Amino acid sequence: MFWHNLKYEIKTVMREKDFILWMLLFPIILGTLFKVAFGSIYENAETFHTIPVAVVETKENEVFAGMLTAMTEGEEPALSATVTDDGEARKLLFDGDVYGILYVGDTVELSVTGKGMQQTILQEIVARCSVYETVIRDAIAENPAAVSDAVKALSAEVDVCRKNASEAGNPDVYVQYFYNLIAMVAICGCMTGLHVSTNSQANQSTLGARRNCSATPKSIHLVTGVLGSAVSQTCSMVVCVTFLRFVLRVNFGGSLFLLYLSAILSGFLGVTMGFFVGSIGRMRYEVKEAISMSVSMVLCFLSGLMVGNMKGIIAEHMPWINRVNPVAIMSDSFYCLNMYSDYRRFMTKIVGMLIYIVAFTVIGVLFARRKKYASI
Amino acid sequence: MKPTVVKIDNLVKRYGELVALDHFSLEIKEGEIFGLLGPNGSGKTTTINCLLSLLTFDKGDIEVFGQEMTPTSYDLKSEIGVIMQNVAVLDELTVRENIDYFCGLYVTDKAKRKALVEEAIRFVGLEDFVNFRPGKLSGGLLRRLNIACGIAHKPKLIILDEPTVAVDPQSRNKILEGIQELNRQGATVIYTSHYMEEVEQICTRIAIMDKGRKIAEGTKDELKGMIRNSETVSIEILELPEEAKEKISHLPHVYETEYDGEKLTVRCSGGRHNLIRILGVLQEAELGFGRVYSELPTLNDVFLEITGTALRDAKE
């Protein structure tokens, strides 16, 4: 009876039009749109590239010359300098071949025509150069023996942050949208979980009544129903992650096995949440469906699916919401997997999901196990 | 004496102030097609739901095959087939898969189940639609599928709760013939309906329900025998002198005479030649008349006489 039920539960869910649309096609379509929308933003706007700059020397400046050499050397230098005259430099700037002109004399001055990350970096370099120059000149004038110490002190990196062991993951902030997409697909599994509950209860559906009249115990209907939905949900999670990872080539970093594990557990959590909602109360199916959809969407919103920095806003004002929001836990698990080589934080997310799964299932079964109904 | 299959004793079910079943008792013997007849809201479906242990009840006892029926009486449930008032099938499965699924809730042996499924398909005449999904079936075919899902495991007791609602006449006949065939094969049948013609056509014994109470029980002849009316004669006649009407109302066995200016209705209790005697009076008075009907009492007449309301007009 168990396998017979499970077989048909899986068949039924996999053939549902809603399941095919929302669980399989929707993430593929939305994932593709995300890729089109965000795919190159990070690469173009936030990844560091060598900044081309024109240098016009009006007077020899040894300190700056040393700094410029340091910044134009190496595999991926900060600057690519073209030393030229003022007229040529202006032409390069207006043609967009360089981001700024550095006028080098006793002091260093910057001329730019626009605003952006590159211009800001150039400004920072000029400011630093000015500080270095002042410090070194003062040292030479007051205590020449201290010059080498001053140079050392200026070169030393002062680290005021605690470092966490980090994975060589994908630092693209827009990958967060894909985490949220996976989490949304997972939480949409609540609709199949809801079906399991209503289709097993005589006071919720005619099918439930018929099943309750059969020779198969209700526990088998419930268990196979949840398992069948979980198996179907697993398929949709695997399709979703595989499509994002291998077709759209979204770099999630971390271990692929753990990525799938996290996605599958997330799907299971979605199913059990729906089962829980379906089991409590005597409301009509349509009401429960509306509750499930609304709750899912609110949780997705709070986790940042619709507004990218929402999770940050919540972390600042009401951090406990991020700790209890199942969708935030799901997307955080992907984030941890990507960003931290140490799996401690990832494991706390996994444990959080397991707690939810067990709680939703147990409470759902306690409510749904009712054998007789006061009204049908 | 045949064994009792279902025994309901003094059943009371309340929904708040509303008494849905009011000390309702029933005993159904093996091999019967037992009809529960009553208007919508009379308590038929509530009785069935209590019998199937789906509903809690306030008072009373229910036994099936001599054992108390409880939600965990899986042995008893395996002998019962249920066809609900509303179609309860899985839209995503084909006709064959649906029957196999529901049959599998009772029969674990795969080979045995396969044979039972094929037999059920043939029985309801869905051979040409085995790979169709329910959404592609007409209302009548869908009802047949609903029945096949309930009877595929060959239950000893089959409960049909208004299985012919919104069904075309062809499918209705097929369903009624099927129920009689199942009964011939040995199944005891409980059939609820508010269509008195159906109940009259197939049921060997009938209980009439109204407002949660059993108001009469017996074979259709026994039920009809409970009321005064045995024959209703209707004659289309454009003119009926008072003298002739008076003469007719004094004929033997006539207990009620009505004339509305177009039609004379005469109700008789007992007697074998009422029509001849009435026509004799009209001929004697040299009165011309049109069409003549002689109708035997129906269950509606039984219901009307006992409750004062026609079954068709009873409040839903």
ipTM: 0.85
Chain B interface includes A12 (CB < 8 A):
yes
Closest chain A C-alpha to B79 CA, distance in angstroms = 9
Instruction: Give the pLDDT band of residue A47 (cuts 50, 70, 90).
Output: low
Instruction: Report residue B270 as tokens.
Output: 């007992």
Q: Between the ranges A96-105, A130-139, A348-357, B305-314, where is the mean pLDDT highest?
A: A348-357
Chain A residues inside the 8 Å CB shell of B52: 212-213
Residues A274, A228: Cα–Cα separation, whole Å:
14
| Separation of alpha carbons A18 and A192, rounded Å | 10
pLDDT of residue A22: 80
Residue A294 Cα distances to A274, A297, A307, A361, B216, angstroms? 12, 5, 17, 20, 52
**Distance from C-alpha of A139 to C-alpha of A146, rounded to nearest angstrom:** 6
CA distances from A374 to A18, A264, B20, B53 (A): 32, 38, 12, 11
Answering whether pTM is above 0.90, one says no
Question: Any CB–CB contact under 8 A between A215 and chain B?
Answer: yes
User: pLDDT grade, residue A322 (50/70/90)?
Assistant: confident
Q: Residue A109 belongs to what H/E stretch?
A: strand A108-112
* SS3 assignment, position B158: strand
State whether B55 and A375 contact (CB < 8 Å). yes
Token couple for A330: 């799901």
Q: Nearest Cβ partner of B54 from A11, A16, A213? A: A213
**CATH number for domain A49-155, candidates 3.40.190.10, 3.40.1390.10, 3.20.20.70, 3.40.50.2300:** 3.40.190.10
Q: Where are the beta strands (DSSP E) in B115-271?
A: 157-161, 188-193, 205-210, 213-218, 231-236, 254-259, 263-268
pLDDT at B316: 42
β-partners of residue B34 are: B190, B205
How many CB atoms lie under 10 A from the CB of residue A206? 17
pLDDT tens for each residue of A236-280: 999 999 999 899 888 887 788 999 999 999 999 999 999 999 998
Q: Which of A210, A218, A285, A372 to mutate to test the interface with B (most CBs of B within 10 A)?
A: A210
Instruction: Give residue B53's pLDDT.
Output: 93
Residue range A141-183, pLDDT digits in tens: 787 777 777 767 766 655 555 655 555 556 666 777 888 888 8
Spell out which residues of chain B touch residue A3, defining contact as CB-CB under 8 Å.
none
Is residue A195 less than 8 Å (CB to CB) from chain B?
no
Q: Would you tell me which residues 34-73 of chain B have a C-beta closer than 8 angstroms to some C-beta of chain A?
A: 49, 52-56, 71-72
Residue A17 has pLDDT above 60, yes or no: yes
Mean pLDDT (chain B) is 92
B-chain residues within 8 Å CB-CB of A8? Answer: 90, 93, 97, 101, 104
Q: Which of residues 97-136 of B touch A (CB under 8 A)?
A: 97, 101-102, 104-106, 108
Mean pLDDT, rounded, for B66-81: 94
Contact A210 B82 (CB under 8 A): yes
**Which 3 state secondary structure label does DSSP give A155?**
helix
pLDDT band of residue B127 (cuts 50, 70, 90) is very high
pLDDT value of residue B315:
46
Query: Nearest CA to B84 among A295, A376, A118, A217?
Result: A376
Instruction: Give the domain B4-225 fold.
Output: Rossmann fold (3.40.50)
B170 in contact with chain A, both atoms CB, cutoff 8 A: no
Answer yes or no: is pLDDT of B32 > 70.
Answer: yes
Question: Does A167 contact B at CB distance below 8 Å?
Answer: no
Average pLDDT over residues B20-31: 95
First-to-final CA distance of chain B: 38
- What stretch of H or E contains A8? helix A2-15
B14, β-bridge pairs = B19
B92 touches chain A (CB under 8 A): yes
Which residue, among A217, A205, A211, A326, has the nearest Cα to A270 in the 3D structure? A326
Q: Where are the domains of chain B?
A: 4-225, 231-296
DSSP secondary structure of A154-181: HHSPP--SPPPPB-S----TTHHHHHHH
Give me the pLDDT at residue A45, please: 61
Token pair belonging to A90: 């202006």
Whole-Å CA distances, A95 to A84, A91, A92, A98: 15, 6, 5, 8
With contact defined as beta carbons under 8 Å apart, do B255 and B242 qualify? no
Are the beta carbons of A5 and B105 separated by less than 8 Å?
A: yes
Comparing A158 with B295, the larger pLDDT belongs to B295
Amino acid A304: pLDDT: 79
Across A318-347, b (16+ Cβ under 10 Å) vs e yields eeeebeebbbbbbbbbbbbbbbbeebebbe
Which amino acid is it at A244? Answer: L
CATH of B231-296, one of 3.30.2400.10, 3.30.70.980, 3.40.50.720, 3.40.190.10: 3.30.70.980
Nearest CA in chain B to A202: B54
Q: Where are the domains of chain A?
A: 2-39+174-368, 49-155
Cα distance between the two ends of chain A: 26
Residue A206 forms contact with B (CB below 8 Å): yes
| Joined tokens for residue B71 | 């939600």
Instruction: Output the average pLDDT for chain A.
Output: 84
